[in-house]
Amino acid sequence: MDSLGIDQIQINKVPADTEYYDVMNGSHRWEVKVHDHGKVALVDSMPRLAPVGQTADFAIVQAARVSYGAGTKKVTEDKGLIRYLYRHQHTSPFEMIEFKFHCVMPVFIARQWIRHRTANVNEYSARYSVMPDKFYHPSAEDVRKQSTSNRQGGEDATDTKTAQEFLDYLDQVEANYKTYSELLDKGVSRELARIGLPVSVYTEWYWKIDLHNLFHFLRLRMDSHSQKEIRDYANTIFALIRPIVPVACEAFIDYAFESIKLTRLEIEAIRSGKPLNTANKRETEEWEAKRKQLGLPEPVKVEQTQPSSTEQA
C-alpha cells in the first residue's frame, strides 16, 4: 500500500449499457486551411464519445437534467430542451462541452483573439524558438478601402494601383526577415530579434474553450463588424464544431447570431410607427438598419403645421 492509500481505492467500472461512438470518427485532427499559411485544427472534443443515435449535444441535456436525475429522453425532447436553455440563457449546461483547437494565425489576428479571456491558451514562444518565415499577404483583390461608415472597418476593394502599392509595402516589411535571421546568426537573442518583425508574421497556439464561451466568441467574431481576417477563422471554427453539436449550433444561429436585439426606444418606435425618440445620430442609424432588416415601413413623418395667427400673437 502507498502512503496515500490510493491503491486501495476501488473503482466501479460500470459497463456501457449503450453503444457509444467517437464524435471525431476516430480521427486525432480535423484540419482546415485558412488563407495562405493559417489553419484551424480541431484536435479534441469533450465529450469524445456519444451514445449511438445522438450527437455530443447529449452532454448539454445530461447536465441540465441532473437536478432530477431523469437522464436523457427522446431526441426531439432533448432538442426542445437545448433550444429552451439557449433562449433563456441557462448557459452552464453548455459549459459541459469543450473543444481543443490548434490554430495558426498572424500576430495581428492573435491580438484580437487573445482578448477572449475565457479560453485556455498555450502559444508558440518566439523567445524559445525562431519565428517562421511566413506572413499574411492578401491578394490584390482583398485589399480593402477604409470604410466611410465604420471607422474601425474596411469595405470594398481599393483601386488596382493603390492595392499594388500596399502589397509592395508588405514586401518591404517582410524583407526584414532576412535581417532577423542574420541577427540571430550573430548571436542576438531571439526575444529581442523578433521585435523588428511585422504583425503579419505567423504565430500558433493550442486553444481550449467550452461551448458557452465559444458561442460568445463566435457571436462577436463571425459578426460583420469584426475584421474579415478573424471572421474567416471564426467561420472555420463554427464549421468544425457544427457536425459535433448540431442542435446547439442551430440554437446559437436562431437565438443569438441571427437574432436582433431591440432597445426600449426601438420597441416604442415599432409600436408608435414614429421615428426613434433620440437625437443620437449613430443610434438612429443603427435603428434604421434594424428597421430595414425587419422589413418595417418607414416611420410616419410628423407634419410641421403653421402656427395660427392667434398662436403667433
Query: In the complex with ligand FAD, which residue's Cβ is closer, 193 or 248?
Result: 248
Based on the shown chain and the rule CB under 6 A, indicate whether residue 216 belongs to the binding site for ligand FAD. yes
- Bridge partners, residue 142, by sequence: none
Query: In the complex with ligand FAD, which residue's Cβ is closer, 81 or 222?
Result: 222
Instruction: Give how far the C-alpha of residue 28 lies from the chain's centroid of Cα atoms, to the nearest Å.
Output: 22
Query: In the complex with ligand FAD, which residue's Cβ is closer, 220 or 239?
Result: 220
Min. distance of Cβ 118 from ligand FAD in angstroms? Answer: 4
- d(CA 313, CA 271) in angstroms, rounded, equals 37
Residue 300 in grid coordinates? 410616419
Based on the shown chain and the rule CB under 6 A, indicate whether residue 242 belongs to the binding site for ligand FAD. no
Catalytic positions, please?
221
For the chain, how long is the longest CA-to-CA vector?
105
Based on the shown chain and the rule CB under 6 A, indicate whether residue 208 belongs to the binding site for ligand FAD. no
Figure out which of the listed residues 118, 129, 139, 272 binds ligand FAD, where binding follows CB under 6 A: 118
Instruction: Give how far the C-alpha of residue 274 lies from the chain's centroid of Cα atoms, to the nearest Å.
Output: 36
Torsion of CA 218, 224, 229, 234, to 10 degrees: 20
Based on the shown chain and the rule CB under 6 A, indicate whether residue 200 belongs to the binding site for ligand FAD. no
145-184: contacts with ligand FAD (CB under 6 A): 152
What residue type is assigned to position 81 of the chain? L
Figure out which of the listed residues 176, 181, 213, 278 binds ligand FAD, where binding follows CB under 6 A: 213
Min. distance of Cβ 119 from ligand FAD in angstroms? Answer: 7
- Bridge partners, residue 121, by sequence: 207
Per-residue binder mask for ligand FAD (CB under 6 A), 30-49, x = binder: --------------------
Based on the shown chain and the rule CB under 6 A, indicate whether residue 222 belongs to the binding site for ligand FAD. no
Based on the shown chain and the rule CB under 6 A, indicate whether residue 88 belongs to the binding site for ligand FAD. no
Q: Judge whether 144 and 158 are in contact, CB under 8 Å.
A: yes
- d(CA 276, CA 270) in angstroms, rounded, equals 9
- d(CA 87, CA 300) in angstroms, rounded, equals 33
Min. distance of Cβ 204 from ligand FAD in angstroms? Answer: 20
- Bridge partners, residue 238, by sequence: none
Query: In the complex with ligand FAD, which residue's Cβ is closer, 61 or 209?
Result: 209
Q: Which residue is nearest to ligand FAD (CB)?
A: 117
Residue 78, CA distances (Å) to 58, 74, 96 in order: 8, 6, 15
Query: In the complex with ligand FAD, which residue's Cβ is closer, 27 or 118?
Result: 118
How many Cα atoms are found within 13 Å in the side-chain-facing hemisphere of 54? 24
Residue ranges that bind ligand FAD, judged by CB under 6 A? 115-118, 152, 213, 216, 220, 225-226
